[in-house]
A and B are shown apart, each in its own frame.
Chain A
């Protein structure tokens, strides 16, 4: 099935307007069950806050974490979690494609002249996920303020670059995870190991993990480029892996490559898709 193409700026503008309208409608519908919506926002904030508390409790037990000080680990935590939260708000909903595949409603999505990826991320958008941003941004803000770095324009630019690359890398992971549904709906839960598992792994300096898991999650999935590599550059902390500090400049390229791979798998998945037919 040919995927719709966007030829003109008018097409893109029309698509953006449509996307905005669907998002607004989703927010309005969520707001109908106010108590439930607020409870969901609070619970999303709570999970990140409790994770952060866990990291702090561990740091309380040991003087330093693999050679990293408390503020350095909190910086790493924020740098890893803010992009995760942003990609969770805007992209992770593509995971719902599994429901559409199972129930046969994906046919309807393919019939519309809008890229399926944009349709699903808009149709399944849930503002509640933004709850994750509150504690993670607070942690990053605190660490940026307290860490021993002279923040000039270059450092700020690097931070923004890292956050943007990280968001793209996590988004690529969500798209990759969602694509699995085109082949197998039942075992797609395995992908939680790279999405949620990746976010969890990134909360700690990557050198604390043993050989194969570090290679797989850090470089195979390129999670190290989200937080660890930028933190090595910006903070110049203990660096037992001996990573070069210029490696951070590869992050945008790694992010772009991840996204290209994910989109390629997504398209292959759609080409492979057969309707449930009933």
Chain B
């Protein structure tokens, strides 16, 4: 157990370092996220203004903050996914991974979280700072509100991992899983609250979106950032995220068990 934890930390550290070497790509990504943040914020400001300053309980400053922080979440929670595992399944390299004396899911989770830690700093914060140049942005206040937000973000990233682990494993059956992978992306973007805060959905649709795991990746951490929860409400939000994280990880494990029984190594 302790050995597994140390291995995880080592993998995570290397994954962090690997992500940090792509400087130009990081800068380019921040630029794109910020442009989208500006566009989304402009639209939301207009909606708030014509609705009299408050839409479905969200004020203008909350909406503009939402637009930029959620742009920062994209890489941390892996909204666009990661096809590395699926590629290894397709090429057969997965066999090498299965031979390793380390748990496959734990290995990939450590890689994912190491990279997410880098993305949180490099891709998470700059769009919000750049957005604050033109729009009102509300930071967590008092300072210790950053703590539940950090926890919420880690859970959001694990939920994102759990989802992508499953969609990547589908390559065992489909070989080419790009279609399912893309669909997951768009469903996350819509039902997670990236296109539009879930709070602006019509009541029944909002209820559906809140009952799905995708809200745990975007809407819920953004609401924690905005300080919309306190005490028991906050605990319940974090518990929901933790429950989804555990459920998706367990489902991924079960699927991995089924998948490995299918693996046939092509002799060369």
Q: Is A99 part of the contact surface with B, judged by Cβ < 8 Å?
A: no
Residues in B with CB closer than 8 Å to A44 are 182
Interface string of A112-147 (1 = CB under 8 A from B): 000000000000000010000000000000000000
Residues in B with CB closer than 8 Å to A60 are 202
Q: Is A8 part of the contact surface with B, judged by Cβ < 8 Å?
A: no
Interface string of A169-201 (1 = CB under 8 A from B): 000000000000000101111101100010011
**Interface SS majority for chain A:** helix
> Complex: how many Å from CA A201 to CA B41?
11
Q: Tell me which of A46, A62, A66, A208 contacts B183 (CB under 8 A).
A: A46
> Complex: how many Å from CA A141 to CA B18?
48
Minimum Cβ distance to chain B for residue A212 (Å): 9
Minimum Cβ distance to chain A for residue B186 (Å): 5
Residues in A with CB closer than 8 Å to B27 are 187, 190
Q: Tell me which of B28, B134, B177 contacts A187 (CB under 8 A).
A: B28
Query: Which residue from chain B places its CB closest to the CB of A37 in the assembled complex?
Result: B179
Are B196 and A54 in contact, with the CB atoms below 8 A? yes
> Complex: how many Å from CA A190 to CA B36?
12
Are A208 and B200 in contact, with the CB atoms below 8 A? no
Q: Tell me which of A36, A61, A128, A184 contacts B175 (CB under 8 A).
A: A36
**Interface SS majority for chain B:** helix
Are B179 and A40 in contact, with the CB atoms below 8 A? yes
Residues in A with CB closer than 8 Å to B182 are 39-40, 43-44, 47
Q: Is B208 part of the contact surface with A, judged by Cβ < 8 Å?
A: no
Q: Is B260 part of the contact surface with A, judged by Cβ < 8 Å?
A: no
Are B190 and A189 in contact, with the CB atoms below 8 A? no
| Stretch from B42-50, B94-102, B219-227 at the A interface | B42-50
Residues in A with CB closer than 8 Å to B82 are none
Q: Tell me which of B25, B179, B202 contacts A186 (CB under 8 A).
A: B25
Residues in A with CB closer than 8 Å to B87 are none
Interface pairs (14), CB distance under 8 Å: A35-B174, A36-B177, A37-B179, A40-B179, A40-B182, A43-B182, A50-B195, A58-B47, A62-B47, A190-B28, A190-B31, A193-B35, A208-B43, A213-B35
Q: Which residues of A contact B (CB under 8 A)?
A: 33, 35-40, 42-44, 46-47, 50-51, 53-54, 57-58, 60-66, 128, 184, 186-190, 192-193, 197, 200-201, 204, 208-210, 213
